[in-house]
Amino acid sequence: MPSRAKSYDYVIVGAGSAGCVLASRLSEDPDTRVLLLEAGGPDRRREIRIPAAYSKLFKSALDWNFSTEPEPYLHNRRLYWPRGKVLGGSSAINAMIYIRGNRLDYDHWASLGNDGWSFADALPYFKRSENQERGASEFHGVGGPLCVSDLCCVNPLTRVFLAAANELGFAANSDFNGATQLGAGLYQVTQKNGSRHSAADAFLRPAFSRPNLRVVTAAHATRILIDNHRATGVEFLRNGTAETVRAEREVILCGGAVNSPQLLLLSGIGPADELVCVGVHSVHDLPGVGKNLQDHPMVSAGYLCTKPITLQSADSLRNLLQYFALKRGPLTSNVAEAGIFINTRDDSPTPDLQILFGPVYYVNHGFEKIKEHAFGFAPTLIAPESRGEITLRSANPLEAPAIRANYLARESDLRVMREGVRAVLRVAESKPFDAFRGARLHPAPEARTDSDFGEFLRNNVQTLYHPAGTCKMGSDPMAVVDSRLRVRGIERLRVVDASIMPRVIAGNTNAPTIMIAEKAADMIRADN
């Protein structure tokens, strides 16, 4: 390595949710020098702050704008995958839903030999991050950096949805992160005073003034520097120029379920036979890198609304003025305002289906528009059995990797999603919606059979933006990191993000990713 390379104690790659947490926590020690590298830019876009505007950030300069390979069980469609390329990462462009998943998810991680990852171990880290609007409790914390709030403005149709769910026998649940996850209720969101509160807002921005923390944007990491099976630094491109930095203690990857395995593979860490095929020299044969990819597939079911009360006109001049003056009104909506967690299997103690409701037409990630008022449901598989992979297309670090999600490869996944479609149709056709329900838009009104719904799913399933598992934690031959998130076989290198999940949690993944980073910060300090 050239002698001119700057040196830090820790070099963190990726300023998403996990990277922001680690940069903040590790730089609390004034004697520790921390560098945070982010391929994207600053989080200055106005749409980041406006909760209801998040889909306007899709396919923008703030988005990696990934696409899958042709999905064999979805009629070979290529699916768009938005991932945040900006300070805050995907927490700057997501729907802000604060869900931890099911406690048994974490107990399952621990049962696989990952000591210290049970729900009892994870809960203190969830609470440490949290500034819960409702106050402290057995399950919630106050005084943490991340604001967790009730929605400022709940659409009348969302109340109708909850009434319909209760009429059909789904229990009311005021806190999906409390004693039980099952049931129907409003989501809490990562917002502060009606504005998005991303990981950059919560963790990184308060640390900016620390002299021992340096944040470099537009820095695209291209390779981890390895010397004798020890990570020594990172190579990155900035403004077209290659630069290197030295890590005296550790290199920590926080790029997420796509970018973290990609960088490992580019650095020669992964399945040796696959690396040779794309022209990458194998440094360490680690077959699990990029494997075990899991995601939550969803499909949109929608109806026209007979009354003009949806979010269709949320960005009217009146609502814009209300938002910018008072941070109130429809623009504070996260769009997916409420949901239901359901277990479709009698033999499982955890939910496998999440239904999200939004008082708006939301199809193809919000890119498809209609003039009429409409509302929609998103039945989502949250306990997928199908597995995919991330692989390199070439040795070019600027070329996006190949993503094979393998959605609905397992018949059990298709069954649960069919049940989800049937469930939302029952909710929509219930009495509370009678005064608001117009024509059914999708699935088509004539769709009634398993075959009909299966074809609807294959033509319309999309991601709910929760990829995980590609650098899984464990001790089996396909594990990439150990229970302290250290890359197996490479010293001074860790992965800290959703890619370490052995199995994706049953719910939205942002809060668990922040928890993982909080716990990792303690591990890193203890180990060093």
Looking up residue 338, the CATH number of its domain turns out to be 3.30.410.40
pLDDT of residue 349: 84
Residue 221 sits in a domain of what CATH number?
Answer: 3.50.50.60
Cα-to-chain-centroid distance, residue 362: 19
- The kind and range of the H/E element at 413 are helix 411-428
Of 524, 166, 135, 519, the C-alpha closest to 338 is 166
pLDDT score recorded for residue 327: 94
Q: Which residues contact 205 (CB under 8 A, 6 or more apart)?
A: none
Copy the structure tokens of residue 280: 């990458």
Q: What single-letter DSSP state applies at residue 500?
A: G
Averages of pLDDT over each 10 residues, the chain, 528 residues: 76 98 98 98 97 97 98 98 98 98 98 98 98 98 98 98 98 97 98 98 98 98 98 97 98 98 98 97 98 98 98 92 94 98 88 98 95 97 98 98 98 98 98 98 96 98 98 98 98 98 98 98 97
Provide the domain count of the chain: 2
Q: Which of 140, 284, 296, 466 is catalytic?
A: 466
Single-letter residue type at 135: G
Residue 346, pLDDT score: 79
Verify that 339 and 429 share a domain, yes or no.
yes
pLDDT per residue as tens digits for the range 479-489: 999 999 999 99
pLDDT of residue 395: 98
> Domain check: are 122 and 169 in the same one?
no
Measured CA to CA, the distance from residue 145 to residue 51 in angstroms comes to 19
Could you tell me if 145 and 223 lie in one domain?
yes
Query: How does DSSP classify residue 79?
Result: P
**Residue 38: DSSP 8-state:** -
Strands (E), 82-230: 130-132, 146-148, 183-186, 191-192, 195-196, 213-216, 219-226
Distance CA 47, CA 24 (A): 25
| Nearest residue to 497 (alpha-carbon basis) of 516, 482, 483, 479 | 516
Looking at residue 149, its pLDDT comes to 98
Residues 322 and 268 in one domain: no
pLDDT digits over 14-26, tens only?
999 999 999 999 9
What is the model's pLDDT at position 345? 87
Report the C-alpha dihedral over residues 211, 213, 216, 220, rounded to 10 degrees.
Answer: 160
Look at strands 191-192 and 195-196 and give their pairing: antiparallel
The residue out of 460, 484, 501 marking a domain boundary is: 460
Co-location of 48 and 174 in the same domain: no
Q: Which of 441, 460, 479 is at the close of a domain?
A: 460
Query: Same domain, yes or no, for 351 and 490?
Result: no
For residue 20, which amino acid is it? C
DSSP notation for 220-286: EEEEEEESSSBEEEEEEEETTEEEEEEEEEEEEE--HHHHHHHHHHHTTEE-HHHHHHTT---SEE-
438 phi and psi, to 5 degrees?
-100, -150
pLDDT of residue 1: 40
466 is catalytic: yes
In a shared domain, residues 353 and 488: no
Domain boundaries, position 443: 152-186+297-383+408-460
Nearest-CA neighbor of 261 among 233, 234, 224?
224
Burial (0-12, 13-18, 19+ Cβ within 10 Å), 175? middle
Pairing of strands 241-253, 231-238: antiparallel
Q: In this structure, are residues 424 and 162 in contact, taking their beta carbons and an 8 Å threshold? A: no
Shared-domain flag, residues 442 and 474: no
pLDDT of residue 2: 41
- Three-state secondary-structure class, residue 198: coil
Helical ranges in 432-506 per DSSP H: 450-460
- Residue 406 near residue 388, CB atoms below 8 Å: yes
Domain boundary, last residue among 460, 477, 498: 460
Same domain, 244 and 207: yes
170 shares a domain with 86: no
Residue corresponding to tokens 């600027």: 398
Same domain, 493 and 400: yes
At 222 the pLDDT is 98
418 and 500 assigned to the same domain: no
Task: Please tell me the distance from the alpha carbon of residue 136 to that of residue 145, in angstroms, as a whole number.
Answer: 14
